[in-house]
């Protein structure tokens, strides 16, 4: 073990290294009735110090974080049935004009990911569908009825970007082209 970081919260849901690796983000299950303090925490990699714990102010957990492959932004999947866009540079501001809505999370830890070229954002949904969003407009451009159970992950192949892997709550994995 090289370093230990203490969030002093309940469960850590996801970890995302920011470009250059000097900082990283964690999403936690620390939402209370009145506050979303510590839902997303920014950390300094070298010192293990918390840089910020006031990034996301809504009272939803964020089970998944994903970094844009070309721009300095990241997306947080929220349990509020939308994905929020943030700057990946301090002070990590939320883009209040752009939200990716239409899919359902309903308590599942649903993942999200950008396409390798950064033009699409893909996510699963609790109804078994996969949603494809135009990154720039935040509009749904396609849905795919993928699974009978909740689709908890959709991920592009790193070398063959026309391939997509999905998986559901029951353990079924599918590869799509």
Q: What CATH number does the domain containing 41 carry?
A: 2.130.10.10
Buried b (16+ CB within 10 A) or exposed e, 80-102: ebbbbbbebeeebebeeeeebeb
Residues 118, 70: contact at Cβ < 8 Å?
yes
Q: Is residue 114 a part of any domain in this protein?
A: yes
Asked if pLDDT for residue 163 goes beyond 80, the answer is: yes
Asked if pLDDT for residue 126 goes beyond 90, the answer is: yes
58 DSSP assignment: S
For position 176, what pLDDT does the model report? 96
* Least confident range of 2-16, 23-37, 86-100: 23-37
Asked if pLDDT for residue 35 goes beyond 60, the answer is: no
Percent of the chain with pLDDT over 70: 94
Q: Is residue 102 a part of any domain in this protein?
A: yes
Q: Is residue 1 a part of any domain in this protein?
A: no
Residue 153 belongs to what H/E stretch? strand 151-156
For position 9, what pLDDT does the model report? 65
* Least confident range of 20-29, 31-40, 62-71, 128-137: 31-40
For position 1, what pLDDT does the model report? 85
* Least confident range of 32-36, 84-88, 134-138: 32-36
For position 34, what pLDDT does the model report? 56
CB atoms closer than 10 angstroms to residue 163: 13
Q: Is residue 2 a part of any domain in this protein?
A: no
For position 102, what pLDDT does the model report? 97
Residues 94, 128: contact at Cβ < 8 Å?
no
For residues 12, 18, 20, 21, the Cα torsion angle rounded to the nearest 10 degrees is: 0
Q: Is residue 56 a part of any domain in this protein?
A: yes
- Residue 21's domain comprises 11-176
Q: Is residue 45 a part of any domain in this protein?
A: yes
Q: What is the number of structural domains in the chain?
A: 1
Buried b (16+ CB within 10 A) or exposed e, 47-66: eeebbebebbebbbbbbbbb
Local confidence band at 142 (pLDDT 50, 70, 90 cut-offs): very high
Q: Is residue 5 a part of any domain in this protein?
A: no
């Amino acid at each position: 073990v090289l370093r230990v970081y203490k969030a002093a919260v309940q469960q850590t849901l996801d970890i995302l290294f920011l470009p250059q690796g000097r900082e990283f983000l964690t999403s936690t299950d620390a939402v209370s009735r009145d506050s979303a303090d510590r839902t997303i925490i920014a950390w300094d990699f070298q010192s293990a110090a918390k840089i910020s714990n006031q990034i996301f102010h809504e009272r939803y957990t964020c089970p998944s974080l994903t970094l844009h492959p070309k721009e300095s932004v990241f997306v947080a999947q929220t349990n509020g049935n939308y994905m929020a866009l943030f700057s990946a540079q301090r002070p990590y501001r939320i883009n209040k004009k752009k939200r990716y809505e239409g899919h359902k999370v309903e308590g599942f830890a649903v993942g999200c990911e950008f396409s390798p070229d950064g033009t699409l954002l893909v996510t699963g949904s609790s109804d078994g569908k996969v949603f494809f969003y135009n990154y720039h407009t935040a509009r749904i451009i396609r849905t795919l009825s993928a699974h009978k159970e909740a689709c908890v992950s959709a991920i592009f192949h790193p070398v063959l970007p026309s391939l997509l892997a999905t998986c559901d709550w029951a353990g079924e994995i599918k590869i799509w082209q």
